[in-house]
Chains A and B, each alone.
Chain A
C-alpha cells in the first residue's frame, strides 16, 4: 500500500515537473486561433490591369506596407512590411513587371517582382538633407528602351535604371538650396524639365539631358511675392502655384526653357475670397482649388488664363486624371449625400459629359471619402467601364464597380492603439440557440472521423470534414456568453478613431462605430481616440444594465487640446453619451470604486495640475469624498527624468470650477541625474491582476512571502549616450539601472545596475516579479533578467508554535505608508532574439502557472514558461528541488519552436499583446495586434480542468460497448460452466 502511494506521488511529481510547452498539431490550426492580415491606410494605389493575367492593384500604406491586392476579391497576393523608419513616399510600376517603391524620404529605391513580390534590386540613394521626395517613373511606350527612373530626394536628383537599379547619373542641388517641385519628362524627348523653387521666391527651370545628367539649359526668374509651396502641374509646360499670401494663383509657363508668370487673384475667380488651397489631384489643363469649403475647377487657358468652369459645394474627394480612349482624359469625384455616396466620372475637357454616375449606399460609420483612385476597362460593348478604389475616413478600402461595393477591407484594424475586453450577453432562458448534433448516427459518424484523425488514418477529405465539423460543433461564434468564458469580445480602438468589437470565436467584427465629436465644431470634427477603459462591468447588482466602455479622445494632436469622453454600449455598439469635457487629458486613472450601477469612478488629470472626477454624479462624489485621503497617483516626466507623487488637496477654487474638480499636492519627487540617467521605461502591475497565493513554499519547508503591492513602479534608466541604437555606444559608456519605487511614499525599494548594457527595455510586471529584456553590450547579446520581491517582515511566521500561540503578524493591518522590509532575488539569462513586446498570461484565479509571451523581432510570439525565469534555478538542483520543478540553470533561455503560439504565422508589425482571463481557470485569451491581428486561447498548464477538444468520445463509447460485451460473454460462459458442473 505504501508502495502504491509512493508511486502515485512520484507520478504526480513527474507530471507537475514536466515542462508543458504550448505545442499544437498541424490539424489543430484554426481551432482556437484566428489570424487576420491587413495593410493599413492606403496612400498610393497603382492599377495593373492587363488583358491577360490576374488584375492587381499595387498599394502603399501609412503602415509602411507595399502590397499587391487581387482586384477581384481584395485578397493580398503579396505584401512586405518595411521598417518603421522606412516610410514609403511613392510607388509605381516600371517596365510592366517591377513595382518600384521610394522610401526613407527619397533615399531608398527598391524594385519588387510584380507577380510574387520578390525583391529584385535595392539602391540606396545619396541624400544630404531632408526634403520632400518625388518619384517619376516613365510610362514605357517601347519596352526595349530603358528610360531611367527619376528620383528627387535629399537635395539630389538621381536617374536610376529600372532594370538593375544602377544609378546612371546624379545631380547635386544641395549647395544651391534648390527644392525640386516637378520633374517633367515629355515623351519621346531626351530632355528632362526640372522645375523648382530657390528660397521659395525664385522659380528655376533646369533642362537636363536624360542620358548624361548634364544641364543643357537653366533659366530662373524671381517672383516678388514668394510661393507657398503647393503646386499643381497642369500640362507638360505649365504649373500653377499659390503665392505666399494664398490669394493669388500664379501660372508658371516654362515653354522651351523660358519662364513666364501669369498672376490671377482668386478674388477675380470667386467673390468670397479666402485662403485658397490647391488640391492634390493631377488633372490635365485643369486645376482643383479649395476656397472656403468650396472646391472649384479652374481651367488653364493657352496663355495662362484661368477661368472657373465648375464648383462643388460639398467636401469632395477627387482622383487623378486617367487617360481614356480617343485622347480624352477623365477623372472621378466622390461626394456624400445623406447615407449615400455619389461617384461621378467626368471628362476633363468637358465637365458636362458625365461618363459614369453611380450612387452607393454607404455605412455611416465609415465616415467621409478620403481618397479615390480610378481605373478603366473596356466593356463588352466597347464602351468604357470604370472601377474606383476609395479610402474612407476610417481607413477602410473599398472597390466600387457597377454601382456596388465589390469588396471592402477594414484597414483601420491595422492601426489598433488600445484594446480592452468585454463580456457577451447572457443567454436568455428558453431561447436556447444551442444546436445539438442532429441524430445519433451523425454524431457517431463525426466521432469515428475524429478517431480516424487522431489515429492518422484519415484521408485529406476526412481531415477537411473534421475541420469543418469542429468549427461548427463548438458553437464558438455564437453571440452569447458561454460557460467556460471562451466567447468574449475584444474592443479595439484604432488610430482613425473607430471602435471595433471582435468576436474571440472567429474574429469577425460584431459591430464597429466611428467616434463622433459631440460639439461638431470646426476645430474638432473627429476626435482622435487615445485610450479605452472599462466603464461599467455589471455583475452583481445592475445585471440588467449593458456593460459599456469609456473612450477618451482628444481634439487635436497636442496634449493640451481639450478632451472628449464617449461612452459606448458594448452589446449594441451604440454611443450612449459623449461630452466635451472642457479640459485637457494628461492621465486617466480608473479608481477601485464603483457606484451602485457598477460604473467605475475615473479621475482625469489635466495639464494645469487639477484632477476631475467622472462620472459627474453626486453618488460618485460621495464615494470619492470618503476615499479622498487615500487617493494617490504619480506622474512620469521622461524628458526631465523626474517622477512625482501626488495626493488630493481640496476642491478647485475659481469661477469655472465645479465640485468635481480637485486640486492636488505634490508628495514626493524622485529626480534622476540627467547627465547619467535617462528614463526609458516605466511599468506597473496590471490593476486587475489576481494573485492566488501570497506565500511560496520551498522544498526545505521554508516559506517565502511574496511582496504583492499594487503601488510598485518599475523604472529603467540608461545613460544618455546609450539611449540611441545598438552600435552607437561602447560598453564602457553605457549602463542600465532599474528601480522599484513605491508610488505612495516615493521610496526606492530596490536598485539594480547593469554595467555595459543598454536599452530598449521591454518589461513585464506581474505578482511579485519583474522580467525585463535589454541588450548587453559586452557579450553583444540580449539578456533577460528576473527580479522577484519577497516580504521580509512576514518571514518570521514560519514557526508553527508562533502560529499556534497567535504570536504572528499575519493579521496585522498592512499599511502602504509603512516601510516594507523586503528582499529580492534576481537572475539573468541570455536571450537569442530582439524583442518587440512582452506580456504575461492572466487567468481568472491566478492559480495556473504563468507563461511569458514574448513578441520577437520576427513578429512571432513565443510562450516561455515562468519556471525558466526563476531566480532559484541552480546549476545542479537537488532531488527535492527537481521535484518542486526547478529547472537546471542554463546561460540562455531556450527557444522551442513548438512553443511559438503563432505557429507558422506572423503578426506583421507586432506592437502589442493583450491577455485576458477566461472563466475556466486553466485558460487565458491572447490577442496580439500590429499590422495583423492574431488571437488564440492558451492553457499554460494544459487544460487540467476540462476535456480537450480532441477528446475521443468514440473511443470511450467503443470501450464501454466492449466492456458490456465482455461482461455478457463472461456471463454466458460462466452460465454454461455452472450448467456443465451441475450435470456432472
Chain B
C-alpha cells in the first residue's frame, strides 16, 4: 500500500500523528518491575451537533475493572493506567451524553505488556486503543412540535371532534332520510310528547 502523498504539510503532519498514535499503542510498555505494565489509550468523541458538550474532556472518566482505578483525560484525549498487572482487564468510559462499550483489554506478559483490545458489546477487535462512543445518549424525551394532530388526539380534542361530528354530520344524515319518514317520525315524537331541543331549555320555554 503506497498512498500518494501530495506534499502537503498538513497531510504529512496527520500521517505523523497517526503513526505517533500507533507507535504509542504498539510499543511495549514495561516499566521497572516485571509484572506491571501501562495501558495507554485515547478517547475520541466526534464533534457533535448537540449543544452543551463543549467542556467534554474535563468530565470524562476512564474506569479500570469496575472502579479499581479511575483516571481522567488529558486535553488531547489520551489516558493512561499505570501499574496494571498482566491479564485480562475491563475498561469503561463514563461520559455524560455518550454510551461507550466496555473494552476487554488483554495485557500480555509474554509480549512485554502488549495490549490487545476488544469491544465487548460489538465484539469488534480494535487495532489501536482508540475508544469512540457507540451512540449519543439523549436523556430527555423530545417534545413533539406543535401539531393539530396532537390536539385532536388529546381527550379534549376527541370530545370536541365528537361534538363537531354530531353537530355537522347528524343534520346531513337527517337530510338523507326520506322527508316523509322524517315527518312520520316527528309526528310520532310529538305524539309521545318527547320534548324537542328548544323546549328542553327553560329560557326557550319562557321566550315562547
A857 pairs with B69, CB closer than 8 A: no
| Residue from B32, B69, B120 in contact with A126 in the complex, judged by beta carbons closer than 8 Å | B32
Q: Which of A23-31, A301-309, A641-649, A691-699 contacts B (4 or more CB under 8 A)?
A: A23-31
Q: Is there a chain B Cβ closer than 8 Å to A118's Cβ? A: yes
Within 8 A of B (CB), among A74-101: 78, 80, 82-86
A116 pairs with B55, CB closer than 8 A: yes
Q: Is there a chain B Cβ closer than 8 Å to A377's Cβ? A: no
Q: Which of B8-16, B41-49, B60-68 contacts A (4 or more CB under 8 A)?
A: B60-68
CB distance from B20 to the nearest CB of A (A): 16
Q: For A29, A727, A836, which residue has the most chain B Cβ atoms within 10 angstroms? A: A727
CB distance from B90 to the nearest CB of A (A): 5
CB distance from B125 to the nearest CB of A (A): 13
Residues on A with C-beta less than 8 A from B55 are 116
A978 pairs with B83, CB closer than 8 A: no
Q: Is there a chain B Cβ closer than 8 Å to A963's Cβ? A: yes
Within 8 A of B (CB), among A928-984: 952, 955-956, 958-959, 962-963, 966, 970-971, 974-975, 978
A834 pairs with B67, CB closer than 8 A: yes
Residues on B with C-beta less than 8 A from A904 are 96-97, 139-140
Residues on B with C-beta less than 8 A from A120 are 74-75
Residues on B with C-beta less than 8 A from A108 are 82
Asked whether A118 and B160 contact (CB < 8 A) given A857-B67, A898-B140, A975-B198, the answer is no
Q: Which of B108-116, B141-149, B187-195 contacts A (4 or more CB under 8 A)?
A: B141-149
Q: Kindly report which residue of chain A lies nearest to residue B145, judged by CB atoms.
A: A456
Q: Is there a chain A Cβ closer than 8 Å to B176's Cβ? A: no
Residues on A with C-beta less than 8 A from B159 are 959, 963
A121 pairs with B156, CB closer than 8 A: no
B61 pairs with A727, CB closer than 8 A: no
A85 pairs with B99, CB closer than 8 A: no
Q: Is there a chain A Cβ closer than 8 Å to B80's Cβ? A: yes
CB distance from A116 to the nearest CB of B (A): 6
Q: Kindly report which residue of chain B lies nearest to residue A859, judged by CB atoms.
A: B94
A834 pairs with B138, CB closer than 8 A: no
Cα(A725)–Cα(B63), bound, Å: 13
Cα(A726)–Cα(B145), bound, Å: 47
| Residue from B31, B72, B96 in contact with A119 in the complex, judged by beta carbons closer than 8 Å | B72
A455 pairs with B140, CB closer than 8 A: no
Residues on A with C-beta less than 8 A from B196 are 974, 978
A775 pairs with B58, CB closer than 8 A: no
Residues on B with C-beta less than 8 A from A625 are none
B67 pairs with A118, CB closer than 8 A: no
Interface residue count for A (Cβ, 8 Å)?
67
A974 pairs with B141, CB closer than 8 A: no
Cα(A903)–Cα(B138), bound, Å: 9
B198 pairs with A727, CB closer than 8 A: no
Cα(A84)–Cα(B70), bound, Å: 8
Residues on B with C-beta less than 8 A from A23 are 141
Q: For A121, A958, A978, which residue has the most chain B Cβ atoms within 10 angstroms? A: A978
Residues on A with C-beta less than 8 A from B167 are 966, 970
Q: Is there a chain B Cβ closer than 8 Å to A72's Cβ? A: no
B66 pairs with A903, CB closer than 8 A: no
B68 pairs with A455, CB closer than 8 A: no
Q: Kindly report which residue of chain B lies nearest to residue A117, judged by CB atoms.
A: B58
Q: Kindly report which residue of chain A lies nearest to residue B107, judged by CB atoms.
A: A727
Interface residue count for B (Cβ, 8 Å)?
62
Q: Is there a chain B Cβ closer than 8 Å to A682's Cβ? A: no
A956 pairs with B141, CB closer than 8 A: no
Residues on A with C-beta less than 8 A from B118 are 780
Q: Is there a chain B Cβ closer than 8 Å to A781's Cβ? A: yes
Q: Is there a chain B Cβ closer than 8 Å to A486's Cβ? A: no
Cα(A80)–Cα(B70), bound, Å: 11
B58 pairs with A119, CB closer than 8 A: yes
- Per DSSP, chain B at the interface is mixed
Cα(A780)–Cα(B103), bound, Å: 9
Q: Is there a chain B Cβ closer than 8 Å to A10's Cβ? A: no
Residues on A with C-beta less than 8 A from B74 are 119-122
Cα(A834)–Cα(B167), bound, Å: 61
Residues on B with C-beta less than 8 A from A970 are 167, 197
Cα(A78)–Cα(B70), bound, Å: 17
Asked whether A971 and B201 contact (CB < 8 A) given A83-B67, A727-B90, the answer is yes
CB distance from B147 to the nearest CB of A (A): 9
Cα(A110)–Cα(B61), bound, Å: 14
Q: Is there a chain B Cβ closer than 8 Å to A858's Cβ? A: yes
A781 pairs with B198, CB closer than 8 A: no
CB distance from B48 to the nearest CB of A (A): 14
Asked whether A897 and B87 contact (CB < 8 A) given A780-B120, A959-B159, the answer is no
Q: Kindly report which residue of chain A lies nearest to residue B63, judged by CB atoms.
A: A857
Residues on B with C-beta less than 8 A from A280 are none
Q: Is there a chain B Cβ closer than 8 Å to A472's Cβ? A: no
CB distance from A899 to the nearest CB of B (A): 9
Residues on A with C-beta less than 8 A from B67 are 83-84, 834, 836, 857
Residues on A with C-beta less than 8 A from B32 are 126
Q: Is there a chain B Cβ closer than 8 Å to A464's Cβ? A: no
Cα(A977)–Cα(B22), bound, Å: 89
Residues on A with C-beta less than 8 A from B63 are 83, 834, 857
CB distance from A902 to the nearest CB of B (A): 8
A975 pairs with B204, CB closer than 8 A: yes
B65 pairs with A832, CB closer than 8 A: no
Cα(A782)–Cα(B65), bound, Å: 11
Q: Is there a chain A Cβ closer than 8 Å to B85's Cβ? A: yes
Q: Kindly report which residue of chain B lies nearest to residue A777, judged by CB atoms.
A: B88
Cα(A118)–Cα(B54), bound, Å: 12
Asked whether A971 and B88 contact (CB < 8 A) given A725-B68, A726-B65, A833-B102, the answer is no
Residues on B with C-beta less than 8 A from A624 are none
Residues on B with C-beta less than 8 A from A775 are 66, 90
Q: Is there a chain B Cβ closer than 8 Å to A895's Cβ? A: yes
Residues on A with C-beta less than 8 A from B73 are 119
Residues on B with C-beta less than 8 A from A342 are none
Q: For A121, A726, A958, A975, which residue has the most chain B Cβ atoms within 10 angstroms? A: A726
Q: Is there a chain A Cβ closer than 8 Å to B34's Cβ? A: no
Q: Is there a chain B Cβ closer than 8 Å to A457's Cβ? A: yes
CB distance from B156 to the nearest CB of A (A): 4
Cα(A119)–Cα(B73), bound, Å: 6
Cα(A775)–Cα(B89), bound, Å: 12
Q: Is there a chain B Cβ closer than 8 Å to A618's Cβ? A: no
Asked whether A728 and B139 contact (CB < 8 A) given A122-B71, A955-B156, the answer is no
CB distance from B162 to the nearest CB of A (A): 10
Cα(A118)–Cα(B55), bound, Å: 9
Residues on A with C-beta less than 8 A from B82 are 108, 124
Residues on A with C-beta less than 8 A from B204 are 971, 975
Cα(A912)–Cα(B138), bound, Å: 25
Cα(A974)–Cα(B65), bound, Å: 79
Asked whether A897 and B75 contact (CB < 8 A) given A25-B143, A456-B146, A780-B90, the answer is no
Residues 461-478 of chain A: 1 if any B CB is under 8 Å from the residue's CB, otherwise 0?
000000000000000000
| Residue from B58, B92, B95 in contact with A833 in the complex, judged by beta carbons closer than 8 Å | B92
Q: Is there a chain B Cβ closer than 8 Å to A760's Cβ? A: yes
Cα(A956)–Cα(B120), bound, Å: 51
CB distance from B88 to the nearest CB of A (A): 5
| Residue from B69, B70, B101, B138 in contact with A832 in the complex, judged by beta carbons closer than 8 Å | B101
Q: Is there a chain B Cβ closer than 8 Å to A178's Cβ? A: no
Q: Kindly report which residue of chain B lies nearest to residue A82, judged by CB atoms.
A: B70
| Residue from A455, A777, A779, A963 in contact with B146 in the complex, judged by beta carbons closer than 8 Å | A455
Given contacts A24-B140, A124-B80, A858-B94, 17 further A-B contacts (CB under 8 A): A25-B140, A86-B69, A119-B58, A119-B73, A725-B65, A726-B65, A726-B89, A727-B90, A780-B90, A832-B101, A832-B120, A834-B102, A857-B66, A900-B139, A958-B156, A974-B197, A975-B198
The 3 A-B residue pairs whose C-beta atoms are closest, nearest first, are A124-B82, A858-B94, A83-B70
6 of the cross-chain contacts (CB-CB < 8 Å) are: A27-B143, A780-B120, A897-B138, A904-B139, A959-B156, A963-B159
Residues of B whose CB lies within 8 Å of any CB of A are: 31-32, 38, 55, 57-58, 61, 63, 65-75, 80, 82-85, 87-90, 92, 94-97, 99, 101-102, 104, 118, 120-121, 137-141, 143-146, 150-151, 154, 156, 159-160, 163, 167, 196-198, 201, 204
